[in-house]
Amino acid sequence: MKDRIIRSLNQTVDKINFPQALAHHSGKVRESFELPENKRAIVVTDRISAFDFILGTIPFKGQVLNQITAWWFKKLDGVVPHHLISVPDPNVSLVKSVKVLPIEIIVRGYLTGTTKTSSWYAYQHLDRKICGLTMPAGMKKDEKFPEPIITPTTKPTEAGMHDEAISREEIISQGLVSEEVYTLAEEYALKMFKLGQEVAAEHGLILVDTKYEMGIDADGNLIVIDEVHTPDSSRYWIADTYEERMANGQAPEALSKEFVREAIVDQGYDVNDLSVNPAKFLHDDLRVEAAMKYIKLYEKMTGEKFEFPAEGNPTERIEEALTAINS
């Protein structure tokens, strides 16, 4: 596995060209192409973002994210409505087009994190308050909350802007989302998180926290979009070692993007200095190690062996798949 990853360091998925699309939106990780009939093709690239910066690429990361999301959406059939139609390529999902809600719903099961939007930062620096909630007193870092909490954030509307914590009351009073829609969004989020924690536990994992995105489809229905329970949108810990590591004052063993964040902080990056791009800390050894963790999480979560695509230019393969969708 490691040799294949090393050979692929210079063959990662970054920019995608699909001029036949009706419209194109480029996010931190995903390239979204509007198609006829209220459909959209989403390409999950190998880009990795952290601390609101794009750091570079991780080999096979996009395939892992896309296939984990597809795996979870199948689990969610009949639980909550979602946008997935099909997966025509390891890095591509064909989905329903929606009007995206201008907020993200973050569900947290544990007191943890490293960024300024994390629950642990709020616990230390903001008098235990986050998104209009007051967290219980006397907790330790990485300890489980009595019940999961919902801590929404705004979605940046311009380049250079960052996610900002916001309360339920502020969302409704500012007219970002109606009370009816927001209440339903919270209901969906808690249903998904409960299922996510149950399935993760069956596979020896702890689903620590996650973010969900939702939108309104052409029929006026609220549906779940983007990614679900991936190592980018979620934090996972190894269940078997959690109690022992907590008792010894060690951080839980992580299988998620948080590993990359922590590695960058350990190299000296100051999370409070938003003028510095931490991309310089993403060296090739870290890229390889991150790729191995992403693949390990895929296999542990799904119980399936990760299938590497045929060697070659993955960008060309993806662009051919997009053309076939649109033909």
Q: What is the pLDDT of residue 327?
A: 76
Separation of alpha carbons 178 and 102, rounded Å = 12
- Note the pLDDT of residue 73: 97
Return the percentage of the chain with pLDDT > 90, whole number.
Answer: 85
Predicted confidence (pLDDT) at residue 315 exceeds the cutoff of 80: yes
Mean pLDDT of all residues belonging to the chain: 94
* pLDDT at residue 43 tops 80: yes
Mean local confidence (pLDDT), 294-302: 92
Choose between 22 and 255: higher pLDDT: 22
Q: What is the per-residue pLDDT for 220?
A: 96
Residue 48's beta-bridge partner residues? 56
Q: What is the mean pLDDT of the segment spanning 49-77?
A: 94
- Summarised one tens digit per residue, pLDDT across range 132-189 is 999 999 999 999 999 999 999 998 765 555 678 999 999 999 999 999 999 999 999 9
pLDDT (average), residues 247-274: 88
CA dist 269 to 48, 109, 112, 264, 278, Å?
16, 27, 18, 6, 7
Residue with tokens 């099909």: 86
Can you give the chain as a three-state secondary structure string? CHHHHHHCCCCCCCCCCCCCCCEEEECCCEEEEEECCCEEEEEECCEEEECCEEEEECCCHHHHHHHHHHHHHHHHCCCCCECEEEEEECCEEEEECCEECCEEEEEEEECCCCCCCCHHHHHHHCCCEECCEECCCCCCCCCEEEEEEECCEECCCCCCCCCCECCHHHHHHCCCCCHHHHHHHHHHHHHHHHHHHHHHHHCCEEEEEEEEEEEECCCCCEEEECCCCCCCCEEEEEHHHHHHHHHCCCCCCECCCHHHHHHHHHCCCCCCCCCCCHHHHCCHHHHHHHHHHHHHHHHHHHCCCCCCCCCCCHHHHHHHHHHHHHC
| Averaged pLDDT, 230-239 | 91
Q: How far apart are CA 279 and CA 214, in angstroms?
A: 29
Please report the domains of the chain, with CATH numbers, ordered by start residue.
2-98+296-326 (3.30.200.20), 100-247 (3.30.470.20)
- The answer to whether residue 35 scores a pLDDT higher than 70 is yes
pLDDT at position 161 is 58
Share of the chain above pLDDT 70, in %: 98
Single pTM value for the model:
0.90
Identify the pLDDT of residue 185. Answer: 98
pLDDT value of residue 146? 97
pLDDT of residue 149: 98
Query: Can you give the pLDDT at residue 162?
Result: 66
